[in-house]
């Protein structure tokens, strides 16, 4: 899914959000800014965890595979949705 697809799905489910003339370009900019903010905050936190109340928790962890010289580490982002968030409208 890309940001345009995400926007189209939001517009289909919540058209009232766009009734004041919010353009697709501004809406995509808003989505991009929100994701960048979450990404920056996850990297800044000591425990690599950011919780957005009513939405869920993003967590970064280091994952290592292989042994010796073949060992490769990478950072993985996990998201756990809050159960109540799935029940909220929108």
Encode pLDDT of 13-66 as tens digits: 999 988 888 899 999 999 999 999 998 998 888 888 999 988 899 998 888 888
pLDDT of 86 above 70 = no
Q: What pTM did the predictor assign? A: 0.71
- CATH (domain of 77): 4.10.520.10
pLDDT of 9 above 90 = yes
Q: Which runs of E-coded beta strand occur in 7-90? A: 49-52, 56-65, 72-81
> For the purposes of burial, counting CB atoms within 10 Å of the CB of 64, is it exposed (0-12), middle (13-18) or buried (19 or more)?
exposed
pLDDT of 87 above 60 = no
What the block records as the tokens of 55 is 């939405």
**Looking at the 3D structure of the chain, how many domains does it have?**
1
pLDDT in tens, 52-61: 988 899 998 8
**Structural domain for 16, as ranges:** 3-87
């Amino acid at each position: 899914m890309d940001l345009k697809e995400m926007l189209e799905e939001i517009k289909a489910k919540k058209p009232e959000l766009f009734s004041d003339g919010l353009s697709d370009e501004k809406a995509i900019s808003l989505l991009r800014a929100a994701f960048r903010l979450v990404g920056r905050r996850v990297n800044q936190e000591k425990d690599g965890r950011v919780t957005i109340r009513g939405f869920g928790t993003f967590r970064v962890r280091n994952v290592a595979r292989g042994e010796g010289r073949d060992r490769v580490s990478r950072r993985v982002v996990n998201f756990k949705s809050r159960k109540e968030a799935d029940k909220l409208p929108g």
